[in-house]
Amino acid sequence: GAVVSQHPSRVICKSGTSVKIECRSLDFQATTMFWYRQFPKKSLMLMATSNEGSKATYEQGVEKDKFLINHASLTLSTLTVTSAHPEDSSFYICSARSSGGANEQFFGPGTRLTVL
C-alpha cells in the first residue's frame, strides 16, 4: 500500500513553544489530508481536513488558531501546535487520500507530543 510518513515521531517541548509536525505522502499525490488526535486507549478524533491549496476545514471544538494546518503541496501537509500547553500532549496521526472514489486512507505512523 501507499506510504505516509510523519516527522518527528516524538517531540518534547516546553509549555508556550510551538511545534511543527510534517506529514508526507511518499508515493502518491494526496489531494486530501486529515489530522487526527488520539488519547490513550481511545479512538481517533478528527481535528481537520485539508485539501491541497485551500484552507483546512476544522471540526467543531478544534481551535484553528491553535492548530495551524498547511497543505502546500500534493505530498506535504503540516500541523503546527502553537503556544503548546501540557493538555496538548497527545498522539497526533495524519492520513492521506488520493482523489476520488473509495480509496482508503493511508495513515502515518503518528507523532507523540509531550508538552512539559
Sole binder of another protein in the list 80, 91, 98, 114 (CB under 8 A): 91
Sole binder of another protein in the list 54, 86, 100, 102 (CB under 8 A): 102
From residue 10 to residue 49, the character string flagging contacts with another protein as x (rule: CB under 8 A) and all else as - is ----------------------x-x------xxxx-x--x
Stretch in the footprint of another protein (CB under 8 A) among 13-21, 67-75, 77-85, 87-95: 87-95
Q: How far is CA 55 from CA 10, 16, 78, 114, in A?
A: 26, 25, 12, 27
Q: Note whether 106 binds another protein by CB under 8 A.
A: yes
Q: Note whether 100 binds another protein by CB under 8 A.
A: no
8 versus 109: smaller Cβ distance to another protein: 109
Task: Kindly give the pairing relationship between strand 76-81 and strand 67-73.
Answer: antiparallel
Q: What burial letters (b/e) apply to 12-42, b meaning 16+ CB within 10 Å?
A: ebeeeeebebbbbbeebebbbbbbbbeeeee
Task: Kindly give the pairing relationship between strand 32-38 and strand 44-51.
Answer: antiparallel
| Nearest to 80, CA basis, from 31, 29, 35 | 35
Q: Which residues of the shown chain bind another protein in the complex (CB under 8 A)?
A: 1, 4, 6, 32, 34, 41-44, 46, 49, 91, 93, 95, 102, 104-110, 112
